[in-house]
Amino acid sequence: MASGLVTISSNALDAKFQQLREQGRKALVCYVTAGHPTRAASVAALRAIEAAGADVLEVGVPFSDPMADGPVIQASSQTALDQGTTLDDALAMIREAGLSIPVVLFSYLNPILAGGDDVLARAREAGCAGVLVTDLPVGADPAREAWFSTQGLAFVRLVAPTTPEARIREIGAHGAGFVYLISRLGVTGARDSMPAELPETVARVRRETTLPVCVGFGVSTPEHARAVAALADGVIVGTAIVKALNESVDAAAALVRAMRHAIDTPA
């Protein structure tokens, strides 16, 4: 369902998912926290992860109270904050990386509000194709949501496994780019297995929106990625990549390559 609020019809995210559909492939969406473990490593990681096979990059803005994130991403955010990383620093890193794949600015609401009225324009100029705000649910602030949806960025929205069908339709109608389906309740973090009910959850979301459905939260191994790719339009990997970055950029790139291979070679 296309949003009446979205002012762009040919966003880089739309083009990427259309390309993947034509190729019969699924999206690999990778998350990193800007400024973790250092600014230089962040820029290097963005480039290395793209080269390793990512289709979309989510760049997290460090925040002091990341309530939806588990301990690994919380720690990465604190590491970045301790080095003075700001939202504008995150945009500068995106610009410096010079990526050719779509970038989604991933943030809590407060840093964006603190960034000023032109913050989303600056994000677009830095190379962002979309924005995702973890703590701005549909209907919470219609005026603010309209602002997000009219700034030339795809406004990516979250869906939980417990979200009712009517609300999924509303989310789909007021979002763009793709739907970020949270695989399970709770915070981000690696898990031993994917939820048994995930196939039905993905099917429920697909029935209510025409946006691509990408699944995140808990995808931590190539086997998880392969299983999710069999169900959804995209696989979102965050905590596992951030954890690998604690070791090295090369380790993170190796993990992304393994995820890419698993997604592209179904069992």
Active site positions, annotated:
58, 69
157 close to 171: Cβ distance less than 8 angstroms: yes
d(CA 194, CA 223): 10
Q: Which two tokens stand for residue 146?
A: 């309209």
Alpha carbon of 86 to those of 46, 65, 78, 102: distances in Å?
A: 17, 14, 12, 21
Q: Bin 104: left if φ > 0, else alpha if -120 < ψ < 50, else beta.
A: beta
The amino acid occupying position 202 is V
Report the DSSP pairing between strands 234-237 and 56-60. unpaired
